[in-house]
Structure formats: structure tokens, C-alpha cells
Structure 1
Amino acid sequence: MSHPNRAPIGLAVSALLALIALCGACDRAEPEPPRPNQPAEATPDALPPGQRIVSFVPALTEIAFDMGLGPRIVGVSDFATWPPEPIKALPRVGGLVNPNLERTLALTPDLLLASPTLEAVRELGEAQKIPVVAPRTESIEDIYAAYAALGEATGERARAKEAAEALRRELEALKGATKATGDARPRVLLVVGRDPGSLKGLYAAGPGSFLDELLVLAGGRNALPKTESLWPAISKEYVLAHPPEWILEFNASPTADPEVKTREAREAWAAMPSLKAVKAGRVRGLTGAHLLLPGPRVAQTVRAIQVILGEGR
């Protein structure tokens, strides 16, 4: 039996998992687009940092917009997609693997949003004396903490608290709607990476990852045991040793067709016909840029999983 591969992952999957790390009312489909801020009465010299924000992390960009800081954002990551209309008009500054520091400086930012591992941006901030906010985004609690960090850095603590509490209430309501408990919860394999047309290059969301937390809120349980990595590389043999009742494949492309991705997933997993999930036709493809982002739209991911798992009950 094979075990999860804990060796350093390839560049493509590194970019995907980096996006993951960068990556309300109960009935809202997604956070409302922000309203423009009121003009500040203080002089420019008296304003706190965060009047010209450049964000290298899509999840933090979405959190900032959810707090109503959209008018202050002057540059975003190549992978930022929400809110659609404001994002289209903003300059792009690269991403985790290719931050464009020259373009960033040209935007004259007074606050940089980054990930804890983005050393180039941290060093830029130190050299240019620009504050850098780089919170962890590996769990639901980390998301709430990211709101607080942005609120502290921008002088918008009240807005941050209000937005975070709205998200907390939304997730609590979804949790309350889940009736399955214990062994009654289906075992689900959360696939976040796979080579096209095959079962090679498999990566999954393991126990303790934010996607695993969303699965639990949706009424499922992770088919995999806890490993050293939150996003382990796995083999077909390892899947056989921990057989899932559902296989959910996540695709972060904002334009991917879920029906097409479901068909492709089923064709690939047909190579393992003995799996209960394959026998029962319980293989699904989920698409959307928000699915792998630990930000304000995580409730949409919970709802999407709830709908799918409800088909088997």
C-alpha cells in the first residue's frame, strides 16, 4: 500500500495550493458588492495606511472588498476575480510565483497584502517602508483573523468585525441545517489536483484544511486520515485503502463547465471501478474560482457540497 507523497510538489500544483492559501445573511448567494467609502475628513497626512492597497492574495482581496475597502484597492493579483466588475478595471501585479515589484511600486501603495510565504513582497515592504499584512489563511478561524488584521491595518476595525461576524453567522446557520452526524456522514475524497485524463498527480484536501472544515459543515467527513500535509499527494492504492463514498473534484477556473468537469472526472475514475463512489456514480466536478479561496464566499462552497451530498440521502 502506498502512502501520501510528502515530497515538495511541482510548480503547477504549488500554484494551485498557493491560490488556496491565499488561497451576512444566511440566504445571501455571495457578499453584496461594496459601496464606496465616504470621503475622509482628515488631511492626507493624517490618514491611516490602507488608502492605496495592493493585494497579491485573491482571498485577501475579496475580504477587503467585503469590508467595503474596494475604492482603496489600486492593484491586485493576476488570479483575482471578485467582485467581477471592479476587478476588471484594476492593474495586475502578478501572483505568488511572479510578483511584479516594479509595477507595484509604480502604483504608490501604502499597504501591501501578501501571504506569509511571499518573501519578495515582505522584503519590498521593509525596503520601501510600506506596511505588509500577511495573515495565514489555512482555516476558517484564520479567515476571521484575516478580517481583523485588515481592519487593524486600515483603521476599519468596526467594518472588519461586522463583516466577519456576518460570515460567522452564515456558516453557523449552514452547520445547523446539517442533520447527519458521526458515521452517518458520508466519506468524501476532496480532489484538488489531478493530471488531465488520468489518476496520476492526485492531490487532495486532507483533514485540518479549510476545505475539510467546509466539508464537515456541509455534513460530510474526510475519507482520508490525518497526515503531515494538509494537502497531500495521494496514489490510487492509497485511495483503495481509504475508499470514499463520494469523490468531489474542485476546479478553480471561473469559466469551467461543471457538467464537463463531472464527465471528465467520471471518465478518469472509471479506472477504479471497485470504488463505492464510482459504482454508485457519486463522482462530481465543482467549478468556480471561489471554491478554493478561504475568503468571504466560503459559504457558497458549503452550500454546493450540501446539495451534492443531499442527492445520496
Structure 2
Amino acid sequence: MGERGWLAFALVASLTACALGSSAERVVSLAPALTRMVVDVGAGDRLVGVAEHDAAAPEGVVVVGSMMAIDRERLIAVRPDLMVHMGVMGATGGHLEMVARRTGCSVVGLGYPEGVGDVLRLVARYPDEAERVTVGSLVDREAAAVALRRSLEGRLAAVAERVAGVDRPRVLLVFGVEPVAASGPGTVLDEMLALAGGRNALGEAGGPYQVLDQELLRKVSPEAVLLLLPNAPELVAGDARLVPWERSGTPAWREGRVWLLNHPEVLLPSTRMVEVVELMARRLHPALFEAGASDE
């Protein structure tokens, strides 16, 4: 997507206490993906508030509600000078503006990334790129953010090089099992799968998120299934999460290629996505990552 849209809006409710050109010292992150970026660029100690169910939040950071229901009093109590969120906030945005007026802080909205490159550009800006707000610039960690982006790009390139030329199985990226819900084309997960040496079983048609019944599962007929379920317990014999695949009798089930990826941040479009790409590649192409496998 490049520069289109993903950072197209920055809602600045108030610049009284914290102009965008200065560094935020007390940050509230209302998106777990942004929380992870703040932590990974070395500014986790500046987080004073997060939304609930934030797997990336450092221990002890105050929970100020959810994306749908902000606790305004708790938010005011943590005295933020910057509140940052991802995507469109809807009605919740009005609550943030009210808190911003009361506290004199800034509210910055960053567009939801549509690809791996968008995620990396959200972390840091290289000197030859157009001016834009990044997580690194917001917390005055631009050098660390640039170094992090280069490291992540290097790791992704290493995976892509290792799987170059391999037979790419048709993989269903499942993030819900009752009903079966899968990630389609044009998503961050779809691009991550391609980097890991797979093809999306949903092809290039349909929406980014699709629900599949048994008939559709048989039609899609994936050769492998990745269950992307954060912190889920390991699969066991008779596991209810395996029932849809057993019933559908797809190649993935017949060949024993239904796998769980339970990385805590497996669904976050953030800096830990590189770990997930590496896990995907090891599952899909284990022989390429065995001890002693050639790096050439």
C-alpha cells in the first residue's frame, strides 16, 4: 500500500502539552500492536496505560478500558501526554477528545497496516523516505527504531531466501474455529504466509476475512492448516479444535498437516510478526530448518 492510507490520518485533539514534534513521556496505547512497537524500540517504561487484553503490555501498566469502552476517569488519572491508537475509533474517539481537552495531551491515530511493509514503516522512517509520524519519532527513539526495522527486514529476507524455489503448499490461515474463520488475500497475515513459503488456500478472491462451512472447506481443500490461536493449549487427540478438519477430510487432515501456532502475538501486525513468519516457515518447510541444513 506504500504511503496510501495507512498513515493518512493523524487526529491531534490537543497540542497544548505535547506537540507532535516533541517526545512523549507518558504514553497510553490503545492498540496492542502499537504497544509492542513502543516496547521494542526501548520505550516501554513510558507506557502508563493500555487497553484490556493487551498481550504486549509490560507488567503493571494500568488498563484504561477497551477499544469499545474507555474508562475516562482511569484514563485521566494516568495523566498521559500522548494517546495513540490504530484504525478508526468511532464513538470512542469522542471520549479521547474529551480526555485530551481535559488533560492537554495529544491523540494520534495511525492507520491499520495492510501489509508487512506498512508495519515496518510504522516503526521507523529511513532518511530517504517522506516525512511521516512513526512510533520511533513519537517516543524519541528514532535511531533504535531504524535499527530495529533494519534487523526485522534482514530476518524476513533470510526466511524468504531460504524458502525460495520450494513447492508452496496451499495453506488456510485460521483465526477462529467455531465457526471456522480464515484470513484471506490482501492482509498482513497473507503476506507473512507468502514470505514463509506458502500460498493462501483462499486464493486471490473474496474478502480479507472469511467464514467457511464444511462445504466451503471441502471446496477450498487446503493442503495445510495453521491455527493462529494466541496462547491456546497444545492440540491433543480428540481435540474439539480438530473436528472441522476431520469432518471435511481435506488433504491437510489426511496428511497430518493441521498445526497450531499459539505465539501470544500471532495475530498482531507488529514487530513480533517476524517471529511468526519464522514459525510458519519452520512448520511448512521443516527440512530447510533442521540442524545442519545448508544456509546457501
Instruction: Say which of 65, 69, 80 aligns to 2:54.
Output: 80
Note closer, same or farther for the CA distance 1:123–1:263 as it changes in structure 2 (3 Å cut): same
Note closer, same or farther for the CA distance 1:170–1:72 as it changes in structure 2 (3 Å cut): same
Instruction: Say which of 252, 265, 273 aligns to 1:298.
Output: 273
Higher relative contact order (CA 8 A, sep 6+): 1
The corresponding residue for 1:114 is 85
Please give the TM-score of this superposition, normalised by the length of structure 2: 0.79
- Residue 49 of structure 1 deviates from its aligned partner by 4.2
Tell me the secondary structure at the aligned position of residue 103 of structure 1.
Answer: helix
Amino acid at match of 1:102: E
Amino acid at match of 1:204: A
Which is richer in helix? 1
Structure 1 CA distance for aligned equivalents of residues 70 and 148 of structure 2? 28
Structure 2 CA distance for aligned equivalents of residues 221 and 262 of structure 1? 28
The corresponding residue for 2:129 is none
The corresponding residue for 2:24 is 50
Question: Percent identity at matched positions?
Answer: 30
The corresponding residue for 1:203 is 181
2:284 equivalent to 1:309: yes
Note closer, same or farther for the CA distance 1:238–1:162 as it changes in structure 2 (3 Å cut): same
The corresponding residue for 2:219 is 241
- Residue 125 of structure 1 deviates from its aligned partner by 4.2
* Contact 2:226–2:260, Cα closer than 8 Å, also in 1: yes
Instruction: Say which of 272, 283, 299 aligns to 2:248.
Output: 272
Q: What is the CA deviation profile of residues 152-191 of structure 1, one whole-angstrom value per residue up to 9, with x for unaligned ones?
A: 333433232222222111111111111345xx21000111
The corresponding residue for 2:127 is none
The corresponding residue for 1:14 is none
Which segment is superposed worse, 290-299 or 264-273? 264-273
- Residue 262 of structure 1 deviates from its aligned partner by 9.2
Structure 2 CA distance for aligned equivalents of residues 99 and 109 of structure 1? 14
Amino acid at match of 2:69: N
Note closer, same or farther for the CA distance 1:311–1:304 as it changes in structure 2 (3 Å cut): same
Instruction: Show the 5 A alignment for 1:88-99.
Output: 88-99=59-70
Runs of 5+ unmatched residues, structure 2: 1-16, 125-133, 289-296
Note closer, same or farther for the CA distance 1:230–1:262 as it changes in structure 2 (3 Å cut): farther
2:202 equivalent to 1:219: no
Note closer, same or farther for the CA distance 1:262–1:229 as it changes in structure 2 (3 Å cut): farther
Note closer, same or farther for the CA distance 1:266–1:204 as it changes in structure 2 (3 Å cut): same
The corresponding residue for 2:176 is 193
Amino acid at match of 2:151: A
- Kindly tell me the number of residue pairs found equivalent between the two proteins: 258
The corresponding residue for 2:147 is 162
Please give the TM-score of this superposition, normalised by the length of structure 1: 0.75
- Residue 194 of structure 1 deviates from its aligned partner by 1.8
Note closer, same or farther for the CA distance 1:123–1:156 as it changes in structure 2 (3 Å cut): farther
Structure 1 CA distance for aligned equivalents of residues 181 and 113 of structure 2? 19
Amino acid at match of 1:93: V
Amino acid at match of 2:261: L
The corresponding residue for 2:109 is 134
Amino acid at match of 1:73: L
Tell me the secondary structure at the aligned position of residue 48 of structure 1.
Answer: coil
Q: What is the CA deviation profile of residues 18-41 of structure 1, one whole-angstrom value per residue up to 9, with x for unaligned ones?
A: xxxxxxxxxxxxxxxxxxxxxxxx
* Contact 1:76–1:93, Cα closer than 8 Å, also in 2: yes
* Contact 1:251–1:288, Cα closer than 8 Å, also in 2: yes
Deviation >4 Å, runs of 4+: 44-47
- Residue 261 of structure 1 deviates from its aligned partner by 9.3
- Residue 97 of structure 1 deviates from its aligned partner by 2.5
Q: What is the CA deviation profile of residues 58-79 of structure 1, one whole-angstrom value per residue up to 9, with x for unaligned ones?
A: 1100000111111111111212
Structure 1 CA distance for aligned equivalents of residues 237 and 174 of structure 2? 12
2:76 equivalent to 1:105: yes
